[in-house]
Amino acid sequence: MARPAIYAVLLRLVLGGVFLWAGATKIPDPALFAQTIRSYEALPLPVVHPAAIALPWVEALVGLLLIAGVWVRSSAWVALLLLFAFVAALSVGIYIKGNFDCGCFGPGGAGGSAVSALVKDAVLIGCAILLLRLRQASGAK
């Protein structure tokens, strides 16, 4: 196996693991996650509950697909779009409230502060972009 392929597998596992973990921790209690989303003050109220139900499942599915190596490019693109949305939401929340618990891995989870979550999201964005570039260079789908 060539080095770029090994790096792509590692990036898939890291990115997929983070997304699977983030989604799985929020799936059991969508009402509590809705409170977390609402605290960001970044979404209109009618969108909060549908987002609290759908988002964890999308995160978990993206994570599973990346880990399994299925639809990698599509999954990496969805992960990248989600990460940009998370950065936007975190930025709005920080602007409005200052630093706060991000709720990234479920309410009261290991996500940490919003500012540290921005740094983590930037690293994950880099992972997703690198994964997409490695897949493009190898001609993989």
Q: For the chain, what is the radius of gyration of the CA atoms?
A: 15
Closest by alpha carbon to 62, among 54, 53, 71?
Answer: 71
Q: Are 129 and 80 in contact, with CB atoms under 8 Å apart? A: yes
The answer to which of 4-8, 106-110, 134-138 has the lowest mean pLDDT is 106-110
Residue ranges of the domains in the chain? 3-138
pLDDT attached to residue 120:
93
pLDDT attached to residue 98:
81
Residues 6+ apart with CB under 8 A from 1: none
pLDDT digits (tens, 9 = 90+) for 24-81: 999 999 999 999 888 888 889 999 999 999 999 999 999 999 999 999 999 999 999 9
User: Residue 115: pLDDT above 70?
Assistant: yes
